[in-house]
Amino acid sequence: MPSQTQTVDIVMVDPEAEHPRIDEAIEAIHASVLDEHRREFNHQTHASLLLNELRALSAGNGTAAGLRLVPCCQKLAIFVRNFAPYFDILSTCTQIRPEWIGWFWGTVRLVFKIGSNYVTFLEKIVDMFEVIAHILPPYQQIFETIQHAGVDAQLPSEDARLAALLSHVYADLVQLFLDLYRTFCRGAQGSGLRHLSLDSTQSALWRPLDSRFARLEMRLSQHRRWLQKETESQIQNYAEITEHRNNYVSFLNHQQELNGSANGELEEQRLAKRLRRVDKIKRWLSNSSSSVEDCDSGSQYQSSNPSPWFLQDPAYRRWKGGRFDRSQANDEHVLESNWQHRVLFVQAKLGFGKTNISNTVIQDLVAEAENLEIEDQPLSTAFFHFERTRPESGQLEDAFCSLATQLLQTHRHDHATLDAICLLLRKTSFREKATSEEALDVLSLLLRQHPTFLVIDGIDESNDVETFLTSLAGVCRRSDTRVVLFSRPNIRIPLEYQKWASDAPHILALTNEHNKTAIEQYVAQDLNRLADQGFFGISMDRALIPQVALTANGEFLWATTLLRFLHSPSLSSEERHAVLENIHTLQGLESLYRNMLGALERRPEYEKRIIVDVFRWLSFPINRLCTWALRAALSTYDSSLTGESYPTDVIEALPELTFGLVHVKNDTVSFTHSSIREYLQASLSRDSEFSLYDENSVHAHLAARCLSYLAHDVPKRPLGGLQPPSPPIIPTIPSSSGASQRTSRSGDSGYKSISSSDGDHHPAMPAIHSHPTNTSTSSLRTIPFDTQLPFLRYAALCWPIHLSRALLPSGQPTPPSYLPALSAFLRSRLAVAAWVEASFRYKFPPTLTRLIAPLALLKAEIPPATYEGKELRGVLGEMRELSEALVQVKREWATSLRENPSLIWQMEVASGEEYWPVWGNIVGE
């Protein structure tokens, strides 16, 4: 470098140490790297060796996870190449010691190696390395300039000052590497560098990783400006260079002062910002249909009948009582060798009460976590319940997302967790929703950071048990988490859960004897209370009560279902007493369900109508209805029930109306147990009017409900207000004949519109594009047009799907129960126009072409002289006419209707004017 004639006082330099920043950085590495990772740490690593390893890793990975590592290797290689010449420049100022290079690159290698187990986070880390690589000075070019200039030897004091300034970037980067390393470890606090310690380790002034990285970017930018100015090859003004160097030193001093400053109000704002980050990641992990479990405790799953007997089981006590060891939690080899012993399978038959037991386990772990020996870090418990009755609780990705979300909430103030969140939020690669691989990486890292129990119930109800268990095994290999899994005995446990010369997998098989006493006590207590309150009449033989527990035969579900049945106010005391007297005829869930459905068939017609509807909506929806939509669906018009009084809130009344077969919890309606739907869909229930055995009939019923809603409950007028048609412009041929695109708001229906060209044998006609609607006009309406019509979206988009499934070939005749509703809908041109407007507002242009042929085939099955035959032929004619009108309108007006759906009410000059009602004429009349 050019010699300087003026000295600069560089603060923060220990006069007793020759190279304080670099020595301090190496000391920090020594203090931070855990013993478990020292055997992986290569302190003789250099840039060429690291680049060779990255090339070999890129070439030798053919797996899906390995393919994700390839771009990570490439980005890290950019950083290595850009920074390697730094040491050449440093060597021009001082004598390089080998450990400076070896410990630096060894730390980089360690971070990459540990991070490769969590590729989602590694992708964010190498993004940071890439950003740094582009900020760094062009070290190679600067070094070549220095060599070419042939600079004379400098004064020893000048060399020391320049080396001290250069050492800041070394220390800054080492601090970043150690921060990233601690994110992947449990309890690896280590020691921060003195000039940065206030910024990274002290709780009072701690800042999350993104804030620290922003400061690092600023420091690196200043370093680049200083070094480039310092090493200019042309003749320099030394006074200017000295001033520039002084400015750089002042900047470094100011950075330390900022690190040491505290402001109470500012800290509160920072805390609020951190919590918003946590919420953002929780939303990222969840999706529109997933249900996130209670994040704070197991209070959501308070057991109605605790099972303390299970907590005393030796297998459970051994699983729970093991010690969480911090050194083992960070040792990948130990985790890989013993993970099978940390997984406990609890298996029992259908209806045993496994969910009840799992709730008891959750409460036990939450209550006793603080009493377990785990050094200074408290235990956490996360849980998930698979339920076939709730579609959002049957997907394996929902389980991992829910578990991760709970742990994020629990550890939302933990520094390592907050740093991990900052990595996830890096915008360079942040997706709108997490993939299953990303959710698994997040969960695995949180389990690596924190000692955790996982309680997972009903894994046999997962949509893919084998994949779930395989993914879970990967999680257990990377952490010391302990998992208890509840299921039926019929699941297939992957071979990897077995361990040679051990009793793994650990399976606790529960039998009738395990819960016999608990069921006896539970049934006796409840029935005696009912008897005391007169539910069984004035006199009752209490000797019948023990027979109930015997009939349960170890099935807790049977006992709870029976008791809910007996609690129903719809039963008389005589009916309840008769149930107990004939309890032997109700043995087994199938017999009990058959008796309960028989009792429901004796209810009033309007109640049965609600029960039939809710059973079918819960079993065969195109997509799950929200509570508001279901409430509207259960209250649709029915001409046969005029004058009947519906419950004030039909949703809240469902448990009572169905004898507890349906329950409402957290604003979610579902079957109390998946076995109820399984029975209704089985042939055993085919004689019941509530049966779901004939799927075609169910879809015919649901199609009729949707059509009835459109014909009678939706206002027969423009739904979103009329917007004046725009002046026509030169027609153009559309690139697509009306095939709709799925939008973010279409998730509740699952409806895919069929191309409007289906069945259209005419040549494509020009479509008239309209100008953008007037901004002032469109901004007047801020409330969604369907706010008061929660069932409209589903009914409008899904009735063709239900009808098409009702018309599918089946082995048994399906009564055309949809004909009256379909006929009423088609005869009302106003209702049809409202449906078309709604479909275009939902971005799904309607089409009926593919329904014509299946309906026509029915003519051969239904005689024309019958009432149904006449109605069918009338409906078929109306359908053909409407289908042709839709094809014509979409061919000529598709683009205009997408932009202004209310045009369907203003077709005065359109070719379909004779079919579509003109709202202006209707109002005028």
With contact defined as beta carbons under 8 Å apart, do 619 and 692 qualify? yes
Instruction: Please give the Cα distance from 898 to 895 (Å, whole number).
Output: 5
- In this predicted model, what pLDDT tens digit does every residue of 494-522 receive, in sequence order? 999 998 878 889 999 999 999 999 999 99
Q: Is a pLDDT exceeding 90 seen at residue 230?
A: no
- Please give the structure tokens belonging to residue 140: 């190679």
Q: Is a pLDDT exceeding 50 seen at residue 197?
A: no
Q: What is the pLDDT of residue 306?
A: 67
What are the Cα distances from residue 329, in Å, to 187, 326, 334, 440, 714? Answer: 10, 5, 8, 18, 60
Taking Cα atoms as reference points, which of 79, 191, 186 lies closest to residue 128? 79
- Say if strands 662-665 and 668-671 run parallel, antiparallel, or are unpaired: antiparallel
Least confident of 339-343, 574-578, 807-811: 807-811
Q: Is a pLDDT exceeding 60 seen at residue 118?
A: yes
Instruction: Please give the Cα distance from 404 to 446 (Å, whole number).
Output: 7
Angle between helices 156-183 and 119-135 (to 10 degrees): 160
What average pLDDT does this structure show over 572-579? 93
Q: 3-class SS at 184?
A: coil
Count Cα neighbours of 102 within 13 Å in the Cβ-side half-sphere. Answer: 8
Measured CA angle at 189 (ends 184, 194), to 5 deg: 120
**Contacts (Cβ under 8 Å, ≥6 apart) of 329:** 186, 335, 448, 451, 479, 480
Please state, for a pLDDT cut of 90, what percent of the chain lies above it: 56
Q: What is the pLDDT of residue 237?
A: 63
Q: Which residues share a beta bridge with 670?
A: 663
Instruction: Please give the Cα distance from 154 to 93 (Å, whole number).
Output: 8
**Contacts (Cβ under 8 Å, ≥6 apart) of 158:** 3, 4, 7
With contact defined as beta carbons under 8 Å apart, do 383 and 358 qualify? yes
The phi-psi region of residue 353 (left if phi > 0; otherwise alpha if psi is between -120 and 50; otherwise beta) is left
**Contacts (Cβ under 8 Å, ≥6 apart) of 843:** 740, 741, 743, 745, 746, 898
Categorize the per-residue pLDDT at 62 as very low, low, confident or very high, splitting at 50, 70 and 90: low
Q: Which residue has the higher pLDDT, 201 or 892?
A: 892
Taking Cα atoms as reference points, which of 126, 137, 140 lies closest to residue 78? 126
Please state, for a pLDDT cut of 70, what percent of the chain lies above it: 80
- Please give the structure tokens belonging to residue 25: 């950085």
How many helices (H) and strands (E) the chain has is answered by: 39, 7
Q: Which residues share a beta bridge with 455?
A: 383, 484
Q: What is the pLDDT of residue 637?
A: 80
267-282 per-residue burial string, b: 16 or more CB within 10 A, e: under 16? eeebeeebeebbeebb
- In this predicted model, what pLDDT tens digit does every residue of 393-435 receive, in sequence order? 667 788 999 999 999 999 999 999 999 999 998 875 556 788 8
Instruction: Please give the Cα distance from 153 to 380 (Å, whole number).
Output: 61
501-520 per-residue burial string, b: 16 or more CB within 10 A, e: under 16? eeebbbbbebeeebbbebbb
Would you say how long the chain is, in residues?
925
Q: Which residue has the higher pLDDT, 240 or 491?
A: 491
What are the Cα distances from residue 252, in Å, to 25, 168, 219, 284? Answer: 17, 9, 8, 37
Q: What is the pLDDT of residue 161?
A: 81
What are the Cα distances from residue 554, in Å, to 358, 494, 513, 677, 701? Answer: 17, 29, 7, 21, 38
What average pLDDT does this structure show over 432-459? 93
Q: What is the pLDDT of residue 393?
A: 62
- In this predicted model, what pLDDT tens digit does every residue of 822-837 receive, in sequence order? 999 999 999 999 999 9
Q: 3-class SS at 618?
A: helix
Distance of CA 214 to the CA centre of its chain: 29
Categorize the per-residue pLDDT at 325 as very low, low, confident or very high, splitting at 50, 70 and 90: confident
What are the Cα distances from residue 206, in Å, to 128, 193, 251, 918? Answer: 20, 14, 21, 67
Q: What is the pLDDT of residue 12?
A: 42
What average pLDDT does this structure show over 17-21? 68
Q: Is a pLDDT exceeding 90 seen at residue 457?
A: yes
Instruction: Please give the Cα distance from 187 to 450 (Å, whole number).
Output: 9
What are the Cα distances from residue 395, in Å, to 392, 467, 478? Answer: 6, 11, 22
The phi-psi region of residue 544 (left if phi > 0; otherwise alpha if psi is between -120 and 50; otherwise beta) is alpha
- Please give the structure tokens belonging to residue 191: 């020691």
- Please give the structure tokens belonging to residue 378: 């408290």
Instruction: Please give the Cα distance from 861 to 859 (Å, whole number).
Output: 5
What average pLDDT does this structure show over 2-17? 40
What are the Cα distances from residue 41, in Å, to 54, 100, 302? Answer: 16, 14, 48
Bond before 505 cis per omega within 30 degrees: yes
- In this predicted model, what pLDDT tens digit does every residue of 651-677 receive, in sequence order? 999 999 999 999 998 888 999 999 999
Give 291's DSSP letter: -
Q: What is the pLDDT of residue 841?
A: 94
- Please give the structure tokens belonging to residue 131: 């950003």
Assessment of whether the complete model's pTM goes beyond 0.85: no
- Please give the structure tokens belonging to residue 420: 């991990």
- Say if strands 482-487 and 343-347 run parallel, antiparallel, or are unpaired: parallel
- In this predicted model, what pLDDT tens digit does every residue of 331-373 receive, in sequence order? 999 999 999 999 999 999 999 999 999 999 999 999 877 665 5
Q: Is a pLDDT exceeding 80 seen at residue 207?
A: yes
Instruction: Please give the Cα distance from 811 to 600 (Å, whole number).
Output: 28
Q: Is a pLDDT exceeding 70 seen at residue 257?
A: no
Rg (CA), the chain: 36
- Please give the structure tokens belonging to residue 254: 């100011």
With contact defined as beta carbons under 8 Å apart, do 754 and 850 qualify? yes
Taking Cα atoms as reference points, which of 209, 203, 181 lies closest to residue 34? 181
What average pLDDT does this structure show over 317-329? 88
Q: Which of 265-269, 538-542, 687-691 has the highest mean pLDDT?
A: 687-691
Q: Is a pLDDT exceeding 60 seen at residue 730?
A: no
Q: Which residues share a beta bridge with 453?
A: 381, 482
Q: What is the pLDDT of residue 501?
A: 72
Q: Which residues share a beta bridge with 457?
A: 385, 486
With contact defined as beta carbons under 8 Å apart, do 896 and 903 qualify? yes
| CA dihedral over 324, 325, 326, 332, signed as positive or negative | negative
Categorize the per-residue pLDDT at 747 as very low, low, confident or very high, splitting at 50, 70 and 90: very low
- In this predicted model, what pLDDT tens digit does every residue of 526-565 receive, in sequence order? 999 999 999 998 888 888 999 999 999 999 999 999 999 9
Q: What is the pLDDT of residue 391?
A: 62
Q: What is the pLDDT of residue 262?
A: 54
